[in-house]
Amino acid sequence: MAEAMSCTELHNMTKAFALQNFPELREMAMWRNVELLTNKDTNTVCLGVLSREENGSSLYQVDTLVKISTATQDLSELLAVVRLPFIHPSYLLNVVDNEELIKSSEACRDLVNEAKRYHMLPHARQEMQTPRTRPRLSAGVAEEIVLVGGRQTMGMNQRSLTAVTCFNPQNSGTEGGVMVADVWCYMSLLDNWSLVSRMTVARCKHNSLVYDGKLYTIGGLGVSRNLDHVERYTITNQWETVSPLPKPVHSASATVCGGKVFVFGGVNEAGRSARVLHTTEQHMELH
């Protein structure tokens, strides 16, 4: 309905929700939506409910794939977006490999053989990376850094640590889910960090650069929205607000060239990639 009414943002949000919650939605009529079944834009495969897949995600069983292919498109096209390398080896060999339609298609056999090699040669998997071995972006999975144990020095004493600390780089700039405005300064001569004057606006996913002896913080994600706010830190340990960005963005790139600050791209308020270039003198759309 959202697509029919040209509600692009609602359509994208609905599709993302469907991909993230596909196991619960598969019993409804919408699971036959071909766009969901073969969604490549988000590197997501929502082709089923097979619990034997090793990484916990789901795939339609082969007989279901065959039924879908007769009503939609060639089976090899559907199979090309299925993460066959993650299916349990016994199911891959005993069921998938023995399906007559798959055996009769050279393209399908190639995909199955690719998955077999992935299982047989674990030491060479880094050289076998394909769209079928990449993480699903809509699955909510993120790579994190885990720090386990260690020793803590307290004056002349040391003690063993049993704590396990987890850090998610995607959430950097937040502390316990709360946006922070803290700024830390590293003193190389003393080899320590000290807290300096806080930014006037708490943010994360922003960009920072140094220009003319001053540290600039540009845009970013605020407590409830994207920011067009720009501020700079001076040698007097103070932050001062300067002219804002023409459009609020986060996760942009920035650099200095020819005495000007350039801000490239980023994510706009609609959650889409911003094809814009900001400079200290102008704003332009990139095509």
Dump pLDDT digits (tens) for 157-205: 788 878 787 776 665 565 556 678 889 888 877 888 888 999 999 998 8
Question: Which tens digit of pLDDT belongs to each residue from 211-221?
Answer: 888 999 999 98
- Is residue 1 a part of any domain in this protein? no
For residues 210-234, give the mean pLDDT: 90
Q: Is residue 206 part of a domain?
A: yes
Average pLDDT of the residues in 30-41: 48
Average pLDDT of span 20-47: 50
Domain containing residue 53: 8-137
Domains identified in the chain, total number: 2
Q: What's the confidence (pLDDT) of residue 58?
A: 37
pLDDT score, position 87: 81
Lowest mean pLDDT among 14-18, 103-107, 123-127, 133-137: 133-137
pLDDT value at position 14? 83
Q: Is this model's pTM higher than 0.85 or not?
A: no
Q: Is the pLDDT of residue 241 over 90?
A: yes
For range 17-32, the mean pLDDT: 61
Residue 142's pLDDT band, with cuts at 50, 70 and 90, is low
- Mean pLDDT over all residues of the chain? 75
**Does residue 2 sit within a domain?**
no
Picking from 111, 137, 163, the residue at the C-terminal end of a domain is 137
Q: Identify whether residues 125 and 159 lie together within a single domain.
A: no
More confident residue, 208 or 30: 208
| 25 assigned to some structural domain | yes
What gap in Å lies between CA 249 and CA 271, rounded to an integer?
A: 9
Final residue before a domain boundary, out of 121, 137, 153: 137
38-60 core/surface letters (b: 16 or more CB in 10 A; e: else):
bbeeebbbbbbbbeebeeebbbb
Residues 110 and 199 in one domain: no
Where among 137, 159, 184 does a domain terminate?
137
Q: What is the pLDDT of residue 23?
A: 58
Q: Is 214 domain-assigned?
A: yes
| Same domain assignment for residues 167 and 111 | no
Least confidently predicted of 81-85, 106-110, 167-171, 282-286: 282-286
Question: Residues 249-280: pLDDT tens digits?
Answer: 999 999 999 888 999 988 888 888 888 887 87
Tokens of 230: 């720009």
One domain for residues 13 and 126: yes
Mean pLDDT of 228-242: 92
Q: Which residues pair with 159 in a beta bridge?
A: 152
- Split at pLDDT 50, 70, 90, the class of 56 is very low
**Whether residue 160 is found in the same domain as residue 244:** yes
Shared domain for 213 and 239, answered yes or no, is yes
Determine, yes or no, domain membership for 131.
yes
Q: What integer is the mean pLDDT of 227-232?
A: 93
273: in domain: yes
**Cβ atoms within 10 Å, residue 244:** 14
What pLDDT is recorded for position 170?
A: 61
Specify whether 151 is located in the same domain as 209. yes
Asked if the model's pLDDT at residue 8 lies above 80, the reply is: yes
> Is 228 part of a structural domain of the chain?
yes
Query: pLDDT band for position 28 (50/70/90)?
Result: low
Residues 196 and 132 in one domain: no
Inter-CA distances, 106 with 62, 96, 192, 197, 286, Å? 17, 14, 62, 65, 43
Whether 126 and 158 map to the same domain: the answer is no
Is the Cβ–Cβ distance between 141 and 184 less than 8 Å? no
Residue from 37, 45, 44, 119 nearest 82 by CA:
45
Dist. CA 34–CA 18, nearest whole Å: 13
Does 229 lie in the same domain as 152?
Answer: yes
CA atoms in the 13 A half-sphere facing the CB of 33: 17
pLDDT at position 216: 93
Asked if 59 and 160 sit in the same domain, the reply is no
Residue 43 sits in the same domain as residue 175: no
CATH number at residue 279: 2.120.10.80
